[in-house]
Amino acid sequence: MSAVGRLDWARDGADWPNREASLFVRAAGALWHVQRMGAPEAPTLLLAHGTAASSHSWRDLMPLLADDFDVIACDLPGHGFSEPMARGRPSLPGMARALADLLAALDARPALVVGHSAGAALTIRMVLDRRIAPAGIVAINGALMPFGGVAGRVFSPLAKLMALNPLVPRFVSASAADRAGVERLIRNTGSTLDARGVELYRRLVADPGHVHGALAMMAHWDLDALVADLPGLATPLLLVVGDRDEAVAPEDARRVRRLVRHATLATMKGVGHLAHEERPAETAALIRALAGEIGLLDAPPG
């Protein structure tokens, strides 16, 4: 694989959200950007972002959860300030192994995991593979179902071709890195972000290395096996759905609920795919409510 540019922490991360909580950890043969905040003695909560995002996606949610949890977020391999996977392909099982190695390096055992979009598939795969054993899982607009129809036959092969060509990430970055282009991409997910949120995504998609990481992740993920294994998931699963999500069909969450015995569904009104960025306080309340139900926190009165 030809090298592509990568974000520079000193330059691009100088004003990164929650920078004071950042550290760099070597695990699974790569250097990871990790953010950790909260009380070390509190239950550990792992946050896993989706494709093409980074730890910045949790910028407003992390501080809201830090009073009750030891909160860990990272840039997934090839995303943000984390290096690509040093060995193996960024398949779903491969990334599950790599993230488990990172948690081992951090001596962290998540009691609760929260995944957004593809991050939800990743955390569920980790649980199914017995790499982590949390008491509960929260999937925010989880990308858990394969694409159907023509999209399913075209998308993965196309992503593979794009990921293999080192010129493609540079072209994508150049064409999508202006503010209007990024606003259009976000709007197409059904979400609306403030100027700071748009700028952070602009910074990410302007970097060919980040784009390459996202394309490689999409090219090597196969969700059919995950769907086949979902009925065996015994961990309580909260499916949080933004009713304006244009990236993942809300109906997918209802299909997952029918497959998983211990799944429940909560709908957030008036938000899209980036629901946790649009309404961090509401998202935090849903996470705390599940934590109370499974005994990690005191249940709220009433």
Here the CATH number for the domain that contains residue 28 is 3.40.50.1820
Cα torsion through 245, 249, 253, 255, rounded to 10: 170
Cα 21 to chain centroid distance, Å, stands at 18
Res 129 pLDDT > 90:
yes
Write down the pLDDT at residue 152: 46
Is 31 inside any structural domain?
Answer: yes
Is 2 inside any structural domain?
Answer: no
| Strands (DSSP E) found in 103-260 | 112-116, 136-140, 237-242
Query: What sign has the CA pseudo-torsion 165, 166, 170, 173?
Result: positive
Is 129 inside any structural domain?
Answer: yes
> By mean pLDDT, which of 78-87, 102-111, 188-197, 234-243 is the weakest?
78-87
Res 174 pLDDT > 70:
no
Cα(36)–Cα(108) distance, rounded to whole angstroms? 11
Res 4 pLDDT > 80:
no
Is 186 inside any structural domain?
Answer: no
Position of tokens 């700028």? 199
Is 269 inside any structural domain?
Answer: yes
Cβ atoms of 284 and 65 closer than 8 Å: yes
Is 25 inside any structural domain?
Answer: yes
Task: Tokens for 190, please give them.
Answer: 């059904």
Exposed / middle / buried, residue 97 (Cβ in 10 Å: 0-12, 13-18, 19+): middle
Is 289 inside any structural domain?
Answer: yes
Is 264 inside any structural domain?
Answer: yes
Res 153 pLDDT > 50:
no
Domain count, the chain: 1
Residue 85: domain span: 9-146+222-293
Taking residues 107-121, what's their average pLDDT? Answer: 97
pLDDT band at 130 (very low <50, low <70, confident <90, very high): very high
